[in-house]
Structure 1
Amino acid sequence: MSLELETTKSEDFVSTDEISLLVIILDTNPGQRLLRENPQTLTQCVDSIIAFGNSHLMQKSQNKLAIMACHSKTSEFIYPGASKTLDIRQIDGQYEVFTLVERTIKTNLHKIIATENTILSNESLLAGALSMALCYIHRIQRNKPPGCKLNSRILVVTGSGDSAFQYMSYMNVFFTAQKQNVVIDVCALDQHLSLLQQGCDITNGLYLKIPQLQGLLQYLLWVFLPEPPIRPKLVLPPPVKVDYRAACFCHREMVDIGYVCSVCLSIFCKFSPICTTCHTVFKMPGPLAVKSKKKKMKL
């Protein structure tokens, strides 16, 4: 999927600027338990994300923002968007940029929801959305002029559960983000997400499962609005123990102990004579060797 977006022009940067780019991935999959029980929860989450994004832009005039909507079948940018920029005029004294952010997000999100099929799926394409976000960050990084420093981070807001089927995609995204110095933060709305928690630990990001959905905006502003260099000086929720279990390649289930291919490092929960990933043939494990008893020497 190509990213036909209006990227930031080099004229918007100054050679001495230090700019913070925030990419927010909002899980809008209607198959989430929160949205199935109360569809109005999506409106609350969108309003909180809009207020949080505007707060990021308000910190510094050179800050940049991008927002993605993640569904069960597709992931698309809803801000800045690929369509023509809306004609926004000042309304009731509101800053035009904030009005543009709000209207663009709601307009593009309405189009995505209207074209989504009625078949509900509990799994969201979060790994694909993270990959698209990294591609967008890389393009912004490549187009900036020399001497301009760009601090990039990704915030994932989701109520979906973990998907072991996307394990390899998650790992590729996490280590790519680590190499590009991109911080990944995760705000879990409903369930504990062990795989995304691993990504936060790998990229030095923050992972938070909010206890109350009503306070989503307060948690976003308190925990995720400060940039990573400032966070060590703040009193933030203490880190929890990271669950570093891996998913097997045969049944896509989290395992504590398994078999690892010595060639491609694929993980299996049961022994297999042939690796299904690289087709390497292994030797069958033989019977355990029995130690022979030493005979006592006669004196």
Structure 2
Amino acid sequence: MTQEDDTRSAVDAAETWLVLLDCNLAAWSLHGRDTLPNAVDGLLVLLRAFCLLHRGNRLIWLGYREAGRAEYFLLPSSEATEEQTGAVETLEALDDEIGLVRSVVEFASADSATNTTAPGDADAAVVVRPSTLALALSLGLCALHARGWLTRSSAWDGRDWAPSTGDASAPLVSTSAATPRVRCLVVSSPAPDDPAQLVSVMNAAIRAQHAQMVIDVLRWVVRPSDAPAAAASTCSAFLQQCAFLTNGVYIECDGSFADAMSELLAQVLPSTATRALLLPPPTSTPSGRRPAPAEHGPRARVVHDVDLRATCFATGDKVELGYVCSCCLSVFASPRAVCATCQAPFADRSDVDAAPASTAP
């Protein structure tokens, strides 16, 4: 097989896409009552485009929310054969657009005291609790592994590609065999990160990295109206680190799904092999952000800066130096007598002002 054939076979190979949709209705209400249904509508368009890329593409669509709940909206049945879990069957299931949107909204609003407040009511306090991201990632990885779709031989990483010669401008060729690949897209609401889920989320991210599964993130953020250029108060350090560890793309959006569609089509929809052949848009600021012109309103942007500092498990604040539990590896910004995570006693230290252990990556 020639280098050109190897490149073509890798680009044209089928993929499995794990899509995790955050259905935390209280968090979505920060953007308005119709934000979640509109996001589902836009997501269905993106999923149809993915199915049209290759007849062998497979899709797992899982919704998660607060209160430790998750549900599969579109998943091949365990009795389905390999030929019955492709793009054709997925497109047929996506035809019931109204039914899928209704199912998502019902799942997001059922049996949750935090979602009883009407979105958009300025006089009512909307309680926004963290979503169960760790549960969704774990269930998705388990579903892929149970079907034999999550192995090192079934994945591909863009870093396996290199110039055919020493010249950096030479065509890229694959340095490994072209095999079916697995990747993940997380569509996240502005729900805050839960420090208690940090270990579970990082374990899932490391497992995905080990399987060479790319994790892309589309994160909605809420920015202060009086300072639109300020850093988002609802950015997710957990998801940024997941995308960084797996060589994925982290996109922040403060508008509608349509605002993010151009970034999704250009940087997320292409297969992992195709991305190695594409030149990403240049950034216009040292921080790596591409702020949108004010006259165009809210837009989506790819975030290249990643905050790799540890998170205090008690306060959720970022720390550069902290105290680490020797049993569960929980990190705390200040010394404690007992670990808040596993209740293990810390060593009795009289010199609490001593320099804490470094948590730098």
Calculate the TM-score normalised by the size of structure 1.
0.75
- SS at 1:39 equivalent: coil
Stretch of structure 1 that moved more, 155-164 or 125-134: 155-164
Residues 100 and 168 (structure 1 numbering): CA distance in 2 closer, same or farther, change over 3 Å?
same
- Are 2:36 and 1:42 equivalent residues in the alignment? yes
- Are 2:344 and 1:279 equivalent residues in the alignment? yes
Amino acid at match of 1:101: L
Matches of 2:76 and 2:106, distance apart in 1: 12
The sequence identity of aligned pairs, in percent, is 26
- SS at 1:233 equivalent: coil
Unaligned runs of 5+ in 1: 1-16, 86-94, 290-299
- Are 2:309 and 1:245 equivalent residues in the alignment? yes
The one of 73, 86, 107 equivalent to 1:112 is 107
Which residue of 2 is the match for residue 21 of structure 1?
16
- Are 2:246 and 1:203 equivalent residues in the alignment? yes
Which residue of 1 is the match for residue 170 of structure 2?
none
- Are 2:197 and 1:166 equivalent residues in the alignment? yes
Unaligned runs of 5+ in 2: 1-11, 81-87, 116-126, 155-177, 222-233, 284-302, 355-361
RMSD of aligned C-alpha atoms? Answer: 3.3
Stretch of structure 1 that moved more, 211-220 or 55-64: 211-220
Which residue of 2 is the match for residue 226 of structure 1?
270
Shift of 1:18: 3.9
Stretch of structure 1 that moved more, 258-267 or 176-185: 258-267
Shift of 1:271: 1.7
- Are 2:146 and 1:149 equivalent residues in the alignment? no
Runs of 4+ in structure 1 deviating by more than 6 angstroms, as ranges, are 81-85
For residues 211-234 of structure 1, give each alpha carbon's deviation from its aligned partner in whole angstroms, at most 9, with x where no partner exists.
Answer: 542423332212210122221322
Compare relative contact order (CA 8 Å, sep 6+) and give the higher one, 1 or 2: 1
Residues 155 and 96 (structure 1 numbering): CA distance in 2 closer, same or farther, change over 3 Å?
closer
Matches of 2:325 and 2:108, distance apart in 1: 42
- Are 2:319 and 1:255 equivalent residues in the alignment? yes
Contact 1:210 1:219 in 2 (8 A): no
Amino acid at match of 2:35: T
Which residue of 2 is the match for residue 52 of structure 1?
46
Matches of 2:324 and 2:331, distance apart in 1: 5
Which residue of 2 is the match for residue 194 of structure 1?
237
Which residue of 2 is the match for residue 297 of structure 1?
none
